[in-house]
C-alpha cells in the first residue's frame, strides 16, 4: 500500500508566520538508511553538480514517466516556510500552483545525489510532464536581490534561462552556494530563485533522494538522476 507524506507551506512575514498550503503525496522510501557517510564538506557530484548550474533546470518533457509509487514507508511530514517578504514573486508563484490545484497529480521525479550519499544533492518536483498545467513564466528573483542563499533545506525554482521558471521546484540537501547568483561569474550568473526552506521533514527529503534511480530515463546531465518510480503528489491545498 502506498504511504503518504504531508508537506506544509508556511508564509513568512516580517511580523510572523501564517500557514499557507498543504501537499499530500505518495512517498517512495527505499528500505535502507535515510542518511549516509558525508560530512559538511561533501565530495562533489560530477563537476560539483556541474557547478550546479545545469542541474536544476526543467527536463525535457519526453524524459519523464508518470508512475505512481507502489510501495513505500510512512516517513512523516515536510514543512516548508515560504518567504513572501524577501521573494514575493517566486513565493506567490508557488502558492498559485497550490491554490489552483495544479500540483494535484504532479510528482517528485528527480534525485541528483552525490554518489553513495543522501546528505548532498537535490530533489526536484513539479509539472513535468504536465505542460498543460503550467502558468506563464515569472520574472527571475536572484539571490543577490532577495538575500536568500541555497543552504541545506532551501526550496528554489527550477529554470532554463533566467525568467523561464514556471512549475518545477527543487529542494537542496547540503549547502550549495554555487546555486546562488554570482555577478563575478561568466555566462549565466543569475543563479536560482530561492523562496523558502524546509523547517521540518528533511528525513523525508533524504528518503526521496535515496529512492531507486532509473538507469535509462533522462538525457545528458539528467541521465542517472530520474527516479525509477516518481513520488506522486495526490493533492495540494492551502490551509485555512
Residues 46, 220, 118, 48: what is their CA dihedral angle, to the nearest 10 degrees?
Answer: 30
Provide the terminal-to-terminal Cα distance of the chain, rounded to the nearest Å.
30
Closest CA to 10 of 2, 25, 1, 22: 22
* Residue 77 CB partners (closer than 8 Å, separation 6+): 5, 6, 7, 8, 200, 201, 204
d(CA 121, CA 160): 19
Output the CA–CA distances (angstroms, integers) from residue 57 to 112, 118, 206, in the order listed.
12, 21, 20
Q: Look at residue 228 in the predicted model and tell me its pLDDT.
A: 94
CB 168 within 8 A of CB 63: no
Q: Look at residue 54 in the predicted model and tell me its pLDDT.
A: 41
In this prediction the pTM is: 0.76
Q: Taking phi first (over 0 means left), then psi (-120 to 50 degrees means alpha), and beta for anything else, what does residue 56 get?
A: alpha
CB 127 within 8 A of CB 168: yes
d(CA 4, CA 69): 10
Backbone angles phi, psi at 160, to 5 degrees: -95, -100
The count of residues in the chain is 240
d(CA 35, CA 124): 19
Q: Look at residue 77 in the predicted model and tell me its pLDDT.
A: 66
CB 155 within 8 A of CB 171: yes
Half-sphere CA count of 219, side-chain side, radius 13 A: 6
Concatenated DSSP letters of 113-165: E-TT-SSSEEEEEE-TT-GGGPPPP-----HHHH-----TTEEEE--SSTT--
**pLDDT by residue, tens only, the chain of 240 residues:** 233 555 666 666 444 333 344 444 443 322 222 222 222 223 333 333 443 434 454 444 333 222 222 223 334 467 788 899 999 999 999 999 988 999 888 889 999 998 878 789 999 999 988 999 999 999 999 999 999 999 999 999 999 999 999 999 999 999 999 999 999 999 999 999 999 998 878 988 999 999 999 999 988 888 999 999 998 877 776 655
Amino acid at each position: 500500500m502506498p504511504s503518504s507524506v504531508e508537506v506544509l507551506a508556511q508564509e513568512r512575514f516580517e511580523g510572523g508566520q501564517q500557514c499557507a498550503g498543504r501537499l499530500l503525496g505518495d512517498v517512495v522510501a527505499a528500505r535502507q538508511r535515510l542518511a549516509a557517510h558525508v560530512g559538511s564538506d561533501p565530495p562533489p557530484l560530477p563537476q560539483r553538480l556541474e557547478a550546479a548550474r545545469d542541474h536544476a533546470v526543467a527536463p525535457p518533457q519526453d524524459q519523464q514517466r508518470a508512475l505512481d509509487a507502489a510501495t513505500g514507508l510512512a516517513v512523516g511530514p515536510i514543512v516548508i516556510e515560504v518567504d513572501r517578504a524577501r521573494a514575493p514573486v517566486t513565493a506567490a508563484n508557488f502558492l498559485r500552483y497550490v491554490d489552483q490545484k495544479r500540483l494535484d497529480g504532479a510528482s517528485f521525479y528527480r534525485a541528483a545525489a552525490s554518489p553513495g550519499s543522501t546528505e548532498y544533492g537535490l530533489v526536484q518536483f513539479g509539472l513535468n510532464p504536465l505542460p498543460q498545467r503550467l502558468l506563464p513564466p515569472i520574472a527571475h528573483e536572484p539571490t543577490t536581490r532577495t538575500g536568500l542563499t541555497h543552504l541545506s533545506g532551501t526550496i528554489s525554482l527550477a529554470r532554463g534561462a533566467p525568467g523561464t521558471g514556471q512549475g518545477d521546484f527543487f529542494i537542496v540537501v547540503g549547502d550549495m552556494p554555487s546555486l546562488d547568483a554570482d555577478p563575478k561569474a561568466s555566462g549565466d550568473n543569475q543563479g536560482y530563485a530561492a523562496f523558502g526552506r524546509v523547517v521540518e521533514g528533511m528525513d523525508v527529503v533524504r528518503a526521496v533522494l535515496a529512492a531507486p534511480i532509473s538507469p535509462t530515463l533522462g538525457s545528458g546531465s539528467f541521465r542517472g538522476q530520474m527516479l525509477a518510480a516518481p513520488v506522486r503528489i495526490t493533492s495540494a491545498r492551502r490551509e485555512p
